[in-house]
Amino acid sequence: MIFHFKKKKFIKFTKNILKLFLYRFNLLLNLRKAKKTEIIYIIEKENWSIKWDGEYISNKINQQKKSPIISTTEIPSINSRHKLIHFGSQYMWIDWYELLPKNKNYVVSFFHGKYSDSPAVTKHIDSFLKSQDSIYKVTTASSLVHSRLLNWGIPKSKLEIIPIGVDTNLFNIPKYEEKLRIRKELGLHKNEIIIGSFQKDGQGWSEGNIPKNIKGPDLFVKSVEIIARELPVVVLLTGPARGYVKSELKKRKIKFIHIFVNSYKEIASFYNALDLYIVSSREEGGPKAIVESMASGVPIVSTNVGMAKDFIIDGYNGGLVESFDPEEIAKKSLEILSKQDKDVMVNAARKDVMRADWNNIAKMYWDKVYKRGIKNV
């Protein structure tokens, strides 16, 4: 028992030494070739949501201000030129904050997590709350998580709700001919019902055979199974770590296609093949699939997680399910798929989601967070 305890302390000590080395090395490197930006946005190295969001926010603000005010990096290489440091995820902040200078303004995006998720998430939340004195602003994408953070004791003055954005030029309602073209390229028949799931719902970044339960992959498969009893369903998957979903679909003899994308822009074309997108998560920060579907003219059915209630008006611009019951998710999906006036729904969704265009989101970050932050230093 004592050996195990000492081993854990040694591993933690070694990790901190390695992080400190990386930090100091990167700091010296950047002092020599420092970017003349007042704000730096810390992104993840993985080619996934945190990275994409940071790049969009940075690019749009720099375009709006017509000068390089903000830049991105994977390691918090802070130098005297940077007045504001934005961590794109609370997990990265927890990894680094003890090693960072205290004379900076830090912004942290907190997307999701609640005490009932798991012991590991509970520990993470407690660490985050203990670190709040070092944080200038906490941004969150949804009113649901905003309320949660308030209840945990984060002062209202520190909190800002800023949704995850969407590129409404990239994600757009396709012409019928374009929809047929994409389906043909994917080997899909025009009479098949294509249901989309573009996420990471397995543990790790490889096969993902162990499900990430908060993402609800079990609920997704069970919901699709019910829908497939009535309609000729094909599931279109993108994203890493989809092993669990693929194996469960195979067991149920439900046809699926899994596409590995090399860039974020590729995802937009696959929305054009869909008849429906299902979010079956038990916990979310967004997900960005809500705003992407709405922008792309794809009917969306979502559990009440993350930004769902902030964007979806049930029966008007999408479907909202209040329970984590696959029967209810399937029922709502079949209801929407049977609508004769789906065009009314998707056009309403497209109109409503325009407030989440990245140009508007970047302006919100500037007006609500960055502009005041760099003045206060």
> What SS3 string covers 48-93?
CHHHHHHHHHHHHHHHHHCCCCEEEECCCCCCCCCCEEEECCHHHH
Q: pLDDT grade, residue 374 (50/70/90)?
A: confident
* Pair 285, 308: CB distance under 8 Å: no
On average, the pLDDT of the chain sits at: 90
Of 372, 364, 367, give the one whose Cα is nearest residue 162.
Answer: 364
Whole-angstrom distance, CA of residue 321 vs CA of residue 311: 13
SS3 of 107, please? strand
In this prediction, what percent of the chain has a pLDDT beyond 70? 88
Domain range list for the chain: 2-21+30-165+358-375, 176-355
User: Quick one: 2-21+30-165+358-375 is in which CATH superfamily?
Assistant: Glycogen Phosphorylase B; (3.40.50.2000)
Who wins on pLDDT, 373 or 125? 125
The answer on pLDDT for 206 being more than 90 is: no
pLDDT at 5 (0 to 100): 45
What number of other Cβ atoms are within 10 A of residue 252's Cβ?
Answer: 11
- The model's pLDDT over 337-365, given as tens digits with 9 standing for 90+, comes to 999 999 999 999 999 999 999 999 999 99
Write the class of the CATH domain 176-355. alpha beta
- pLDDT at residue 79, rounded to an integer: 57
- Do the domains at 2-21+30-165+358-375 and 176-355 have one common CATH topology? yes
Whether residue 52 has pLDDT greater than 80: yes
pLDDT digits (tens, 9 = 90+) for 294-321: 999 999 999 999 999 999 999 999 999 9
Q: Note the pLDDT tens digit of each residue in 221-276.
A: 999 999 999 999 999 999 999 999 999 999 999 999 999 888 899 999 999 999 99
> Cβ atoms within 10 A of the Cβ of 327, count?
12
Predicted local confidence at residue 3, as pLDDT: 46
How crowded is residue 27: how many other Cβ atoms within 10 Å of its Cβ?
16
Q: Which of 213, 285, 286 is nearest to 245 (CA)?
A: 213
Express each pLDDT in 127-166 by its tens digit: 999 999 999 999 999 999 999 999 999 999 999 999 999 9
Tell me what the mean pLDDT of segment 323-329 comes to: 98
pLDDT higher than 90, residue 369:
yes
Task: Decide: residue 323, CB within 10 A, 0-12 exposed, 13-18 middle, 19+ buried.
Answer: exposed
pLDDT reported for residue 81: 60
Residue 156, Cβ neighbours under 10 Å: how many? Answer: 9
Assign 10 a pLDDT band (cuts: 50, 70, 90): low
